[in-house]
Amino acid sequence: MEHVKVAALSSIETINPNIPSTVHAACLSKMAERGQIKGAIVDGPLAFDNAISATAAREKGIVSPVSGDADVVVAPDLDSGNILSKNLEYLAQARMAGIVMGASAPVVLTSRSDPPRARVYSLALASLLCANCGQ
């Protein structure tokens, strides 16, 4: 993909300083707009429904190149990301890979209950991401 469509999630679609995830999502969106995040179209804050459903986005009046067509969703914190991933895995049969970013190299992080394929997917993703490690 030339440009991955990334939805920065929050509980609402408008920026509210009392809800930090809305501010963080807006900052990520602005950073992408300025070219500080390369290879991605980032929009947010977006609630999960309008990140993945064009119908939900239309009903809420959201105009976005990402809404209803997100390739990636970014959860605002560890708790919501864990809940979202377990829902996708167990209710939608999603295939999972666990990677922690931000260190000098990706860190593989899987759940104790993950099947062996999740560990293989995680290692494969880490090796792809590590192609540029140390450069």
Are 127 and 84 in a shared domain? no
Are 99 and 125 in a shared domain? yes
Encoded tokens for 16: 């509210």
Are 32 and 71 in a shared domain? yes
Are 47 and 25 in a shared domain? yes
Burial class of 1 by CB neighbour count within 10 A (0 to 12, 13 to 18, 19+): exposed
Are 33 and 56 in a shared domain? yes
pLDDT interval class at 135 (50, 70, 90): low
Are 28 and 87 in a shared domain? yes
pLDDT interval class at 134 (50, 70, 90): low
Are 59 and 116 in a shared domain? no
pLDDT per residue over 63-112, tens digit each?
A: 999 999 999 999 999 899 989 989 999 999 988 888 887 788 888 988 88
**Residues with Cβ < 8 Å from 69, sequence gap 6 or more?**
5, 54
- CA 53 – CA 59 distance, rounded (Å): 10
In 3D space, the residue among 133, 126, 69 whose CA is nearest the CA of residue 100 turns out to be 126
What range does the domain containing 125 cover? 95-135
Query: What pTM was computed for the model?
Result: 0.82
Are 1 and 19 in a shared domain? yes
Are 62 and 101 in a shared domain? no
Place of tokens 């290879």: 39
Residue 50's CATH number: 3.40.50.10750
Are 77 and 99 in a shared domain? no
- CA 99 – CA 78 distance, rounded (Å): 12
Look at the chain and report how many structural domains it folds into.
2
Are 12 and 26 in a shared domain? yes
Cβ proximity of 85 and 72 under 8 Å: no
Are 79 and 102 in a shared domain? no
